[in-house]
Amino acid sequence: MECYVFNCGNLHRTSTSRNEGSHASFRSKIIVIPKPAEAYVTRWRHNVEWMQRLRANTVDAQNRIPHDIRVVVELKDLVGKLSLFALTEIRRQVNQAKMEESKGVVRELEWEINGPCDCHTYCRYGLPCWHMVPTDGMAIPLESISPFWRLDNWN
């Protein structure tokens, strides 16, 4: 309003609004980005191709599950739904649980995802630990695993 009343431009301020500031910034970078519209289209294409690569990796992860993971009965409902890393880590935890059970260690199944657990696998990755996974052939529920590891997030 002062600019209008005193008819003095921008009162020696570098910008009076976000639009003017953006315009000045575009003008100062005109050498770096000679054609802003072309740069925008190139960046858009790059993002589309990047998402296509991620989706292709997801499809590959669904299709190439190793046999040592496929044979674990507890993972039968998770195969093709989780990333390969998550499946491998859970398989490792199932094997550890079976070893601990053979030693006679008594444990209780805890399916609560926010349960009081200090295991590295649970705290760092949000995956069930050795004391959370069943060893009797019962399938691990998909809800007990952090949504971060699900492949359907990329479809």
In order of 15, 75, 139, 146, the CA distances from 79 in angstroms are: 56, 6, 11, 15
- Cα separation, 144 vs 127, in Å, equals 8
**pLDDT score recorded for residue 45:** 92
In this predicted structure, the answer to whether residue 60 has a pLDDT above a threshold of 90 is no
Amino acid of residue 134: P
Mean pLDDT of 59-71: 78
pLDDT in tens, 86-135: 999 999 999 998 888 888 776 655 544 445 678 888 888 888 888 888 88
- Cα separation, 144 vs 126, in Å, equals 9
Confidence band, pLDDT 50/70/90 cuts, at residue 33: low
Phi, psi for residue 78 in degrees, rounded to 5:
-100, -20
**pLDDT score recorded for residue 144:** 82
**pLDDT score recorded for residue 24:** 65
What mean pLDDT is reported for the chain?
Answer: 76
